[in-house]
Homo-oligomer: A and B are copies of this chain.
Amino acid sequence: MNGAITQIEVKLPKNKISIKKLCAKYKWDYLKIIEKTGIKNVYHSSKDESAIKLAISAAKKITKKNKKIDALIYVTQSPEFFLPTNACVIQNRLGLKKNIIAYDINQGCTGFVYGLYNAQLLLQDNLINNVLIICSDTYTKNIKKDNKSCLTLFSDGATAILVKKRKNKKKQYIFYTDGSGENDLKLHFSGNQFVKNKIPELSMDGRKVLIFTMNYVPQIVRKTLKENKVTLDELKYVIFHQASKIVIENLIRKLDIPLNKIYKNYDRFGNTVSSTIPLCLYELRKKKMISKGDKILICGFGVGLSIASTIMEV
């Protein structure tokens, strides 16, 4: 595998919502909720802030100086069109060159890991030197006002990640898919004949997603270490998908990970779906907490149900 991340940019919606205030408004038990989720703020996109607009805002910070993008991977579960491919629309709006491969990948909480895997595969192509991954989701547009568990958990947001050709030691990715949990986190509409008068609505069975996570993520993390012949000691950080406090604390306990190897920011940003892991990497880079050669285990899990994990080198 070739490729290293050289730049990460972030765009969050303007509307930052305090969970404390939200709970006061709806008379929800704030202390009970924060104890489980650990999330203090979420970001809700406005009508004008579509997934593509957030994506473009994040990506512009990369592409205004670098138009030589050879491949654009747009990871989203908030498409604005069935067709054309959203990545084609983004190619034009960013003013990227036309001899480019551009496609959308539909994946959620594992989306960034899928995107990075695809980027690293693409970089083996002689004609490809720079891959731009953009993760963007706007789950909250489809959350009903009385859906307490989703409304206090999910944030909208976009991250743009530039991956450049670089010879690294090949890293093995580990994937796990169990579509029998398709109803555990779902945005449903009836075929593409949309149900009249009805806005599709996000539904989640948090307990079932938690059980899946606890049953399978630890073994996938262990397999990722084993297949890459890397020990927990050799890792600088472990970055989990920022699902919520209860999920991450249980994973840390079950895998016996030293706390100084964990980076987390769910308290400040909520669960931004495919952007949670790049949002952590963005902060680690900005705060200069990582340097070249550092090994980081990244693991996404959730909707699908799906798990994707690897070890990346800074």
- Show the binding face of A for B, using Cβ within 8 Å: 47, 50-51, 72, 77-93, 98-108, 114, 117-118, 121-122, 124-127, 138, 141-142, 172-182, 185-189, 191-194, 196-197, 199-200, 227, 303-306, 308
Contact between A99 and B175 (Cβ–Cβ < 8 Å)? yes
A86 to B105, CA, bound (A): 11
Given the contacts A179-B93, A191-B50, A185 and B84 also touching, CB distance less than 8 Å: yes
Contact between A83 and B77 (Cβ–Cβ < 8 Å)? yes
Closest CB of chain B to A276's CB: distance in Å? 15
User: Which label, helix, strand, loop or mixed, suits the secondary structure of the A interface?
Assistant: mixed
Contact between A179 and B90 (Cβ–Cβ < 8 Å)? yes
Q: Which residue of B is nearest A191, CB measured?
A: B50
Q: Which residue of B is nearest A50, CB measured?
A: B191
Contact between A192 and B83 (Cβ–Cβ < 8 Å)? no
Contact between A78 and B82 (Cβ–Cβ < 8 Å)? yes
Contact between A92 and B306 (Cβ–Cβ < 8 Å)? no
Most chain B C-beta atoms within 10 Å of own C-beta, residue among A50, A102, A124, A181: A102
Please pick, from B84, B172, B182, the residue contacting A303 in the complex, using a CB distance under 8 A: B84
Contact between A88 and B304 (Cβ–Cβ < 8 Å)? yes
Q: Which B residues are CB-close (under 8 A) to A138?
A: 191-192
7 contacts between A and B (CB under 8 A): A77-B83, A81-B189, A82-B187, A88-B306, A101-B114, A102-B179, A104-B104
Q: Which B residues are CB-close (under 8 A) to A89?
A: 179, 182
Contact between A106 and B121 (Cβ–Cβ < 8 Å)? no
